[in-house]
Amino acid sequence: MHLPAFLIFALLGCGLLVAGCRKSASREVVVYTSVDQVYAEPILRSFEQESGIRTRAVYDVEATKTTGLATRLVAEKKAPRADVFWNNEFANTLLLRRQGMLAPYRSPAAEDLPGQYRDAGNYWAGMGGRARVLLVNTEKLKPADYPASMNDLLSTKWPGASVGMANPLFGTTATHAAALYATMGREKARNFFSKVKARGVRTVDGNSVVRDQVASGQLAWGVTDTDDALGAVERGAPVAIVVPDQQLAGAFVIPGTVAMIAGAPHPREAKELVDYLLAKETEDELIAAGGCQFSLRGKAAPPQWLKKPLKPLTVELTDVQEQMPRAMEELREIFSR
Amino acid sequence: MNTRAQPVAVYRRIGARWLGGGGSVLALAVLLGPYIALGVAVASGHYGEGHGVRQAFPYSGRQLLLLAYSLLFSGAVAGGALLLGVGCALKLRSMPRLGSIFLAALPVLIAVPVYLHGLAWTACLASVAGGLPLRGWWGSGWVEVMALLPLATGIALVGLRAVDREQVEAASLHQSDFRVFRRIELPLVMPMLLAGFGLLFLISLLDYNIPSLFGVNVYAMEIFTGYSLDGNPTAAVVTALPLIVAAAAVMMLGLARARLAASTPLFRRASVYRRECWPVWLRIAQWIALALLLAQAVVPSAGMLVMTGAARAWAQAMMSARIEIGTTAAVAGMVLLLGLPLALLAAGPLSRADGAGKVWWALLCLPFAMPAPLTGIGAIHLSAFGSRLPFDTGPFLPVLVNLARFVPVAAFACYAWQRRVDPGLLEAARLYQRTPLRGLLDVRLPLYLPGLLLAGVLLLTLTAGELGATLLVAQPGAPTLMIRLYNLLHYGASRDVAALCLTLMAGAGIAGALALWGIKARPRFGGMANEG
C-alpha cells in the first residue's frame, strides 16, 4: 500500500541529489576560507559581481579544533576540489606549502607587499593582519592597573584565576606560542609557559571565549586577537584593548594568507580570485569590516582605534612554522594534564 | 497440497534470505565504508610511511593518566545522569500523560548542541546574585550531566514502561513498592539501564567541547592536538585507539545486555498505572530530579528566547540562513530516506544469538566510537575512488557521513521496537503471506512503524546537529546550519545563534510531533490496537 509513495519519494530524492551532482560547466571557483563568514561573504559576493565568476565557499569553524580546512585539503590531495585557500593566519598555509599542496602563482596584486609577507617561490602571499592583544575589563581594573606585556601573565599583581588565554595547543594562540619559542628560545619559552600554567592562568576554549569572559567580568583581562577584541568594543562591552610589549619586543602580528591549490579544478578563475583578494582595495574592505585590523603594506596608516603605529614582533614566519611541532609537543606536556 | 507451489515458496524464502543478507552487507558497507577507505589511504602511504604511528606510539604516562581521568569523569557523568534519569522516569511513570508529552518533546530537548548548553548554564549561573562560577571538572560535569539528563530520562522511562506490570502488581500484593522495585523491577530494567549507561558514557567520553569550555583536559582533546598540527589522521587514529577500544567495549557490554532487557510485548502492556507508595526520601529525590529536568528544559530554551527577542529578529536570522537551513533540510531528508531502510536491514541480524550476531553487534558499535572528524576524512578518501565517475560525488558525502555515524543508532532503535512486537503476528504473516515483499509491506512494516518513526526522528535530529564530520565534507557554497551557527558563535552574534538554535528546536519539535501523530494514526491503516 505504501510502496508506491515510498518509491516516489525515494526517486524524487535521488533525482534531486543527482541533479545537484552534475559537474558544472559555467565559470566558477571554489574557495576554502577560515576567515569568518560574516567578513568573507561580502567580499566574495563583490568578486562574483565584478568578475561574473560564481564563487562557492567552504567556511571553517573554530570549535572543531581540527583546523578543519587544512585537514580537508590534505585528505583531498589526490582529487582536489578547492581552487583557493584563503586563510586568516599563516601556519597552516606554510604547512600546506611544505606538503606540496600549493601551486605557485605570482600575483600582480602582491607586488607591493613587503618581502616577509610573500613566499619566495610565490606559493602564497599575505592579506591583512591581526595582532595578539590584551583585552581588559574596565570595570574590574583601573587604567593604572592595566597589564602592558605578555610577561604580565606571570605577574602576581593579578590572581591567576582572573587572567585568561585560549588553549595554546590550537589556533592563533598556538601560533603565538610558537612565535615566542622562535624569539625567546626553547628553554625560556618552555619556562614561561610552565610558569603560566603553575600560576593558574585560566586556559579557555578559544579567543572568542576569552573575549566573552573578559566582557562579562568573569576574567579581569586576557590575551586574544584584535578582531575578537574589537568585536567586544563595538558591542559596547566594558573593555579596553592594550597592545602589548610596545616598549619591549613588540606585539605579534598574524598575517592572513592567500594561496592557490595544486591541481585546482579551475586554475584560471582561481588566479582571478587570488588577484582580487590580494588587491589593496580588498584588504581595505576587510579591515573596514573588522575581519582584520592591519594592512601588511608598510605605508598604510594605523587603524583609528590605535593611537600610534604598532610595533610588531620581529620574527620570520618560517621560523614560527618550524618551531610549531616542538612547541606543541612541549605545550601538550605542560597544558594537557 | 500443491506440489508446484512448495518449491516456489522455498525459492522465494531463499531469495528473501539472500536479499536480507545482501541488504545487511550493503548497510555494513555504508557504515564502515569511510573507515575502510581511511585505512586504505593510510596503508597506501597517503600520509607518509609510518610517521604518524611513530609520532603517537607508545603512549606516554601522561596520556594514560589523562585517559584514566577521562574514563572516570565520563563514568561519573553517565552514572549521575542515569541516576537522575531514573528518578525522573519513576516520577513521570506515575503521570502517564506527562510522560508521553516528555517523550514527544525529547527531540526538542536533545536538539540543542551540548556546547550551547554549556554557554547557557554559564550565563545563567553567572547572572545569579553574587554569581556562581562554573569552572573545572565540576562545571564541566554539571553541564554534561544536565545536557544528558533528558536522554537518560527517556532511556529509563522507555525501560520502565517495558517491564511487565503484571509481575510487579503480583509481587506488590506481598511486599512494599520499594522492595518490589529493588528486587523485581530494577533487575528487569537493569540491562536497558546498562545500555543507556554505555551510550551516555560514550557521548561524554568523545566530547571535548564542554571540558574545553571549562578549561578541563580530556583524552578526546588529545586526539586533535597532534591532528591539528599536521593534518595526519594516522597519529589521530593511533592516539584515539585506546578511546575507541574503551568506548566500543562499554558499548558492547551495555548494548549486548540490552538484548536481555525486559520487553513486554505490546499486547500484554498495562495501560493504567497504580500510583506507587515510595519512601519519603525517594519521593523527595524524584521531585528533585524532576525539578532539575525542568530546569534543563527551561534554561537553554528560555535563555535563547530572551536572547532572540522579537519574532522579527528570528525571521531575520532565518532569512539570512536560508541556504544553510535548506542544505540541512535536504541532507537530513536524504539521510532519513536512505537511513531508515538501512537501519531496518542492519537491525535484522542483531537478534541472532550466534557468533555472527555478536560480530554484528561489535561492527555496529564501531561507528559510535569513532571520532567524528575521522569519519569525514574517511568519506573524502572514499569519494576519491569515485573521482572518475561522470558526476560529482561531493553532494553525497554529507549524507554518507551522517548515515555512517547515525544509522547504527537508528538500527538499535528499530531492534528495540522489534523485540516488543508480538511474534505470533510475524509468524502468521510468514505463513500466510503471498510473497515476502507483501508480508513486509502489509504486516511487518506497519508493526515496525513506531520503531521506524522513532529511528527517523533520531536520524533527523542527530543529522541536523552534526558538525565534526560534516564540516570536512560540506559542499562548497552549501554549508549546513551547524557550520553557520558555530561561525556566528565565534563572531559573537549571540542573538542570531539563539534564533538558529530555536529553529533547530522547532524542527526537532515538528519531527517529534509528526512521529507521535504517525504512531497515534497508525491503527487507521495498521488495523491494530492503539498502545499509545
User: Which residue in B399, B487, B497, B500 has the most chain A C-beta atoms within 10 A of its own C-beta, making it the best mutation to test that interface?
Assistant: B487
Kindly state the percentage of chain B with pLDDT values over 90.
Answer: 15
The pLDDT of B329-357, averaged and rounded, is: 86
Determine whether the interchain pair B213/A170 forms a contact, defined as Cβ–Cβ distance below 8 Å. Answer: no
Q: How many CA atoms lie within 13 A of A315 on its CB side?
A: 28
Tens-place pLDDT, residues B280-308: 999 999 999 999 999 888 888 887 788 77
The pLDDT of B156-170, averaged and rounded, is: 82
Helix (H) or strand (E) holding B80: helix B61-93
Determine whether the interchain pair B491/A59 forms a contact, defined as Cβ–Cβ distance below 8 Å. Answer: no
C-alpha cell at A245: 610589549
C-alpha cell at A160: 591567576
Lowest mean pLDDT among A43-52, A290-299, B57-66, B352-361: B352-361
Tens-place pLDDT, residues B452-511: 888 999 899 889 988 888 888 988 988 898 888 888 877 766 788 888 888 888 888 888
Residue B207: which residues within 8 A CB-CB, separation 6 or more? B114, B144, B218, B220
How far is residue B79's CA from residue A177's CA, in Å, rounded to a whole number? Answer: 38
In which residue are the cell numbers 514502561 written? Answer: B161
* Confidence at residue B528, expressed as pLDDT on a 0 to 100 scale: 44
Residue B524 has pLDDT above 50, yes or no: no
* Closest alpha carbon to B95 in B290, B285, B263: B290
* Confidence at residue A1, expressed as pLDDT on a 0 to 100 scale: 40
C-alpha cell at A232: 567586544
Tens-place pLDDT, residues B206-220: 888 788 777 788 888
CA distances from B282 to A296, B89, B191, B289 (A): 67, 12, 22, 10
Measure A215 CA to nearest chain B CA, in Å.
11
Residue B21 has pLDDT above 70, yes or no: no
Chain A residues near residue B483 by CB distance under 8 angstroms: 59, 61
Nearest-10 crossing angle of helices B311-320, B494-521:
90
In which residue are the cell numbers 536524504 written? Answer: B334
The pLDDT of A94-114, averaged and rounded, is: 92
Give me Rg for the CA atoms of chain B.
24
The model carries a pTM of 0.81
* Confidence at residue A222, expressed as pLDDT on a 0 to 100 scale: 96
Lowest mean pLDDT among A71-80, B107-116, B262-271: B262-271
* Confidence at residue A67, expressed as pLDDT on a 0 to 100 scale: 57
Tens-place pLDDT, residues A63-85: 655 457 888 898 888 889 999 99
Residue A4 has pLDDT above 80, yes or no: no
How far is residue B110's CA from residue B388's CA, in Å, rounded to a whole number? Answer: 40
A71 touches B at CB < 8 Å: yes
The pLDDT of B378-399, averaged and rounded, is: 77
A289-298, B94-103, B258-267, B437-446, range with greatest mean pLDDT: A289-298
How far is residue B401's CA from residue A325's CA, in Å, rounded to a whole number? Answer: 30
How far is residue A115's CA from residue A125's CA, in Å, rounded to a whole number? Answer: 9
Nearest to B491 among A204, A231, A333 (CB): A231
The amino acid at A310:
L
Determine whether the interchain pair B330/A64 forms a contact, defined as Cβ–Cβ distance below 8 Å. Answer: no
Nearest to B492 among A31, A58, A235 (CB): A235
Residue B232 has pLDDT above 90, yes or no: no
* Confidence at residue B467, expressed as pLDDT on a 0 to 100 scale: 85
pLDDT band at B384 (very low <50, low <70, confident <90, very high): confident
Which residue in chain B is spatially nearest to A14 when comparing CA positions? Answer: B334
How far is residue B399's CA from residue B470's CA, in Å, rounded to a whole number? Answer: 9
User: Residue B282: helix, strand or coil by DSSP?
Assistant: helix
Contact B224, A66 (CB under 8 A): yes
pLDDT band at A124 (very low <50, low <70, confident <90, very high): very high
Tens-place pLDDT, residues A149-204: 999 999 999 999 899 999 888 888 999 999 999 999 999 999 999 999 999 999 88
ipTM for the complex?
0.76
User: Which residue in A1, A3, A8, A17 has the most chain B C-beta atoms within 10 A of its own C-beta, making it the best mutation to test that interface?
Assistant: A17
Per the prediction, chain B carries an average pLDDT of 80
Tens-place pLDDT, residues A297-318: 876 677 777 778 888 898 999 9
pLDDT band at A2 (very low <50, low <70, confident <90, very high): very low
Chain B residues near residue A325 by CB distance under 8 angstroms: 229-230
* Confidence at residue A23, expressed as pLDDT on a 0 to 100 scale: 53
pLDDT band at A93 (very low <50, low <70, confident <90, very high): very high
